[in-house]
Amino acid sequence: MSVIELTEIIKRYQNGEELIAALKGVDFQANRGEMVTIIGPSGSGKSTMLNMIGLLDTPTEGTVRLDSRDVTDFSEDELTEERRTAIGFVFQDFHLLPMLTATENVELPSMWDTGVDRRDRAVDLLQRVGLGDRLDHTPDQLSGGQRQRVAIARALINEPEILLADEPTGNLDQDTGATILDELTRLKEDEDIAIVSVTHDEQLVEYADRVVRLVDGEIQ
Protein backbone atom coordinates (compact mmCIF):
# COMPACT_ATOMS: atom_id res chain seq x y z
CA MET A 1 0.00 0.00 0.00
CA SER A 2 1.37 3.41 -0.88
CA VAL A 3 1.86 5.85 1.98
CA ILE A 4 1.71 8.82 -0.34
CA GLU A 5 0.00 8.97 -3.71
CA LEU A 6 -0.30 11.89 -6.11
CA THR A 7 -2.79 11.57 -8.97
CA GLU A 8 -2.84 13.80 -12.05
CA ILE A 9 -1.23 16.69 -10.24
CA ILE A 10 -1.19 20.04 -11.98
CA LYS A 11 0.44 22.98 -10.25
CA ARG A 12 0.33 26.45 -11.75
CA TYR A 13 1.93 29.59 -10.42
CA GLN A 14 0.81 33.09 -11.27
CA ASN A 15 3.91 35.09 -12.12
CA GLY A 16 2.69 38.62 -12.82
CA GLU A 17 0.62 38.35 -15.99
CA GLU A 18 2.07 34.96 -16.80
CA LEU A 19 0.71 31.59 -15.64
CA ILE A 20 3.48 29.02 -15.19
CA ALA A 21 2.69 25.28 -15.12
CA ALA A 22 5.36 23.79 -12.82
CA LEU A 23 3.71 20.32 -12.85
CA LYS A 24 1.65 19.20 -15.83
CA GLY A 25 -0.24 16.09 -14.77
CA VAL A 26 2.07 14.09 -12.55
CA ASP A 27 1.32 10.70 -11.00
CA PHE A 28 3.51 9.51 -8.14
CA GLN A 29 3.45 7.05 -5.31
CA ALA A 30 5.82 5.72 -2.67
CA ASN A 31 5.53 2.61 -0.53
CA ARG A 32 6.94 1.71 2.86
CA GLY A 33 10.40 0.19 2.68
CA GLU A 34 11.11 1.87 -0.62
CA MET A 35 13.52 4.63 -1.64
CA VAL A 36 12.24 6.71 -4.52
CA THR A 37 14.51 9.33 -6.05
CA ILE A 38 13.11 12.24 -8.02
CA ILE A 39 15.75 13.60 -10.34
CA GLY A 40 15.66 16.37 -12.91
CA PRO A 41 17.36 19.55 -14.08
CA SER A 42 16.88 22.94 -12.48
CA GLY A 43 13.39 24.28 -13.14
CA SER A 44 11.91 20.85 -13.92
CA GLY A 45 9.51 21.01 -10.96
CA LYS A 46 11.39 19.05 -8.27
CA SER A 47 10.84 21.57 -5.45
CA THR A 48 7.19 21.89 -6.42
CA MET A 49 6.83 18.11 -6.28
CA LEU A 50 8.61 17.95 -2.92
CA ASN A 51 6.18 20.55 -1.62
CA MET A 52 3.23 18.42 -2.77
CA ILE A 53 4.59 15.19 -1.26
CA GLY A 54 5.54 17.01 1.95
CA LEU A 55 2.07 18.55 2.24
CA LEU A 56 3.72 21.97 2.23
CA ASP A 57 1.61 23.27 -0.64
CA THR A 58 -1.59 22.19 -2.39
CA PRO A 59 -2.05 21.37 -6.08
CA THR A 60 -4.05 23.43 -8.55
CA GLU A 61 -5.65 20.21 -9.80
CA GLY A 62 -5.35 16.55 -8.87
CA THR A 63 -5.49 14.46 -5.72
CA VAL A 64 -3.09 13.86 -2.84
CA ARG A 65 -3.61 10.79 -0.67
CA LEU A 66 -1.78 10.01 2.55
CA ASP A 67 -2.34 6.42 3.74
CA SER A 68 -5.24 6.18 1.25
CA ARG A 69 -6.93 9.21 2.82
CA ASP A 70 -7.69 12.10 0.49
CA VAL A 71 -5.97 15.13 2.06
CA THR A 72 -6.24 17.39 -1.00
CA ASP A 73 -8.81 19.71 0.54
CA PHE A 74 -7.41 19.71 4.07
CA SER A 75 -6.97 23.12 5.69
CA GLU A 76 -3.53 24.55 6.44
CA ASP A 77 -3.87 23.49 10.10
CA GLU A 78 -4.93 19.97 9.22
CA LEU A 79 -2.01 19.62 6.80
CA THR A 80 0.40 20.88 9.47
CA GLU A 81 -0.88 18.19 11.81
CA GLU A 82 -0.47 15.46 9.17
CA ARG A 83 3.02 16.73 8.37
CA ARG A 84 4.10 16.61 12.01
CA THR A 85 3.11 13.02 12.53
CA ALA A 86 3.68 11.47 9.11
CA ILE A 87 6.65 13.21 7.51
CA GLY A 88 10.28 13.81 8.45
CA PHE A 89 12.37 16.34 6.53
CA VAL A 90 16.10 16.31 5.74
CA PHE A 91 17.76 19.23 3.97
CA GLN A 92 20.94 19.88 2.03
CA ASP A 93 22.20 22.34 4.65
CA PHE A 94 21.20 20.23 7.69
CA HIS A 95 19.18 22.98 9.47
CA LEU A 96 20.55 22.11 12.92
CA LEU A 97 20.35 24.61 15.75
CA PRO A 98 23.95 25.61 16.54
CA MET A 99 23.58 26.11 20.29
CA LEU A 100 21.99 22.72 20.93
CA THR A 101 23.77 19.38 21.32
CA ALA A 102 23.19 16.50 18.91
CA THR A 103 20.74 14.90 21.36
CA GLU A 104 18.85 18.15 21.92
CA ASN A 105 18.60 18.76 18.17
CA VAL A 106 17.15 15.29 17.67
CA GLU A 107 14.58 15.51 20.46
CA LEU A 108 13.44 19.03 19.57
CA PRO A 109 10.69 18.07 17.07
CA SER A 110 9.14 15.69 19.59
CA MET A 111 8.94 18.48 22.15
CA TRP A 112 7.55 20.97 19.66
CA ASP A 113 5.19 18.75 17.75
CA THR A 114 3.87 16.36 20.37
CA GLY A 115 5.01 17.84 23.69
CA VAL A 116 6.57 14.49 24.57
CA ASP A 117 10.24 14.33 25.52
CA ARG A 118 11.68 11.36 23.67
CA ARG A 119 15.25 11.46 24.89
CA ASP A 120 15.56 7.67 24.91
CA ARG A 121 14.57 7.41 21.26
CA ALA A 122 16.84 10.36 20.41
CA VAL A 123 19.84 8.62 21.99
CA ASP A 124 18.88 5.31 20.38
CA LEU A 125 18.63 6.90 16.92
CA LEU A 126 21.98 8.67 17.34
CA GLN A 127 23.59 5.39 18.38
CA ARG A 128 22.08 3.67 15.37
CA VAL A 129 23.59 6.25 12.99
CA GLY A 130 26.98 5.77 14.65
CA LEU A 131 27.03 8.90 16.81
CA GLY A 132 26.79 7.25 20.23
CA ASP A 133 30.04 8.97 21.19
CA ARG A 134 28.92 12.40 19.93
CA LEU A 135 25.68 12.85 21.89
CA ASP A 136 26.73 16.06 23.63
CA HIS A 137 28.60 17.62 20.74
CA THR A 138 27.23 20.77 19.13
CA PRO A 139 27.02 20.99 15.32
CA ASP A 140 30.26 23.00 15.03
CA GLN A 141 32.09 20.07 16.68
CA LEU A 142 30.81 17.64 14.03
CA SER A 143 31.80 16.94 10.41
CA GLY A 144 29.37 17.50 7.54
CA GLY A 145 28.48 13.82 7.36
CA GLN A 146 27.96 13.66 11.12
CA ARG A 147 25.71 16.73 10.98
CA GLN A 148 23.62 15.11 8.28
CA ARG A 149 23.31 11.96 10.40
CA VAL A 150 22.05 14.09 13.31
CA ALA A 151 19.53 15.65 10.90
CA ILE A 152 18.40 12.20 9.76
CA ALA A 153 17.94 11.07 13.38
CA ARG A 154 15.94 14.23 14.04
CA ALA A 155 13.72 13.56 11.04
CA LEU A 156 12.88 10.12 12.46
CA ILE A 157 12.16 11.10 16.06
CA ASN A 158 8.36 11.19 15.67
CA GLU A 159 8.29 7.86 13.80
CA PRO A 160 7.20 9.27 10.43
CA GLU A 161 5.97 7.12 7.57
CA ILE A 162 7.81 9.18 4.98
CA LEU A 163 11.29 10.67 5.06
CA LEU A 164 11.59 13.49 2.56
CA ALA A 165 15.15 14.40 1.67
CA ASP A 166 15.94 17.55 -0.32
CA GLU A 167 19.42 17.13 -1.86
CA PRO A 168 20.63 15.15 1.20
CA THR A 169 24.15 14.77 -0.21
CA GLY A 170 24.35 18.24 -1.75
CA ASN A 171 26.88 19.61 0.74
CA LEU A 172 28.93 16.43 1.13
CA ASP A 173 31.82 14.95 -0.81
CA GLN A 174 31.23 11.76 -2.81
CA ASP A 175 32.43 9.30 -0.14
CA THR A 176 30.58 10.97 2.71
CA GLY A 177 27.49 11.12 0.50
CA ALA A 178 27.79 7.37 -0.06
CA THR A 179 27.91 6.66 3.70
CA ILE A 180 24.80 8.82 4.20
CA LEU A 181 22.99 6.89 1.46
CA ASP A 182 24.03 3.57 3.06
CA GLU A 183 22.65 4.88 6.34
CA LEU A 184 19.35 5.88 4.73
CA THR A 185 19.05 2.48 3.05
CA ARG A 186 19.46 0.71 6.39
CA LEU A 187 17.00 3.00 8.22
CA LYS A 188 14.45 2.62 5.44
CA GLU A 189 14.31 -1.09 6.21
CA ASP A 190 14.64 -0.90 10.01
CA GLU A 191 11.95 1.77 10.35
CA ASP A 192 9.84 0.50 7.43
CA ILE A 193 9.48 3.97 5.97
CA ALA A 194 9.27 5.39 2.48
CA ILE A 195 12.20 7.62 1.60
CA VAL A 196 11.64 10.16 -1.13
CA SER A 197 14.65 12.17 -2.18
CA VAL A 198 14.80 15.06 -4.59
CA THR A 199 18.12 15.73 -6.28
CA HIS A 200 20.17 16.41 -9.36
CA ASP A 201 22.93 14.12 -8.03
CA GLU A 202 23.13 10.95 -10.16
CA GLN A 203 24.84 9.20 -7.19
CA LEU A 204 21.42 8.92 -5.52
CA VAL A 205 20.09 6.93 -8.47
CA GLU A 206 22.31 3.95 -7.55
CA TYR A 207 20.66 3.70 -4.15
CA ALA A 208 17.08 4.13 -5.34
CA ASP A 209 14.55 1.32 -5.61
CA ARG A 210 12.75 3.51 -8.12
CA VAL A 211 13.78 6.62 -10.06
CA VAL A 212 11.38 9.28 -11.26
CA ARG A 213 12.79 11.60 -13.93
CA LEU A 214 11.18 14.98 -14.20
CA VAL A 215 11.58 17.11 -17.31
CA ASP A 216 9.72 20.37 -17.70
CA GLY A 217 6.96 19.46 -15.24
CA GLU A 218 6.37 15.97 -16.62
CA ILE A 219 7.58 12.51 -15.67
CA GLN A 220 9.61 10.88 -18.44
Residues 6+ apart with CB under 8 A from 16: none
The angle formed by the CA atoms of residues 40, 41 and 43, to the nearest 5 degrees, is 110
**Cα–Cα dist 92/3, whole Å:** 24
Rule CB under 6 A: choose which of 4, 35, 37, 46 binds ligand ADP: 46
- In whole angstroms, how close is the CB of 189 to ligand ADP at the nearest point? 25
Assess 47 for contact with ligand ADP (CB under 6 A): yes
CA distance to 13, 138, 141, 144, 181, per residue, from 102 (Å): 39, 6, 10, 13, 20
- Among candidates 118, 138, 131, 55, which has minimal Cα distance to 89? 55
In the bound state with ligand ADP, the residue whose beta carbon lies nearer, of 15 and 75, is 15
Alpha-carbon dihedral of residues 3, 8, 9, 14, nearest 10 degrees? -170
Assess 105 for contact with ligand ADP (CB under 6 A): no
Q: Residue 40 in contact with residue 151, Cβ under 8 Å?
A: no
- Among candidates 176, 104, 108, which has minimal Cα distance to 146? 176
- In whole angstroms, how close is the CB of 205 to ligand ADP at the nearest point? 16
In the bound state with ligand ADP, the residue whose beta carbon lies nearer, of 94 and 207, is 94
Contact region for ligand ADP (CB under 6 A) — 28-36, 45-53, 63-71, 204-212? 45-53
Assess 43 for contact with ligand ADP (CB under 6 A): yes
Assess 44 for contact with ligand ADP (CB under 6 A): yes
Assess 132 for contact with ligand ADP (CB under 6 A): no
Contact region for ligand ADP (CB under 6 A) — 49-57, 70-78, 117-125, 173-181? 49-57
User: Given the rule CB under 6 A, which residues bind ligand ADP?
Assistant: 13, 15, 20, 22, 40, 42-48, 50-51, 56, 89, 91, 166
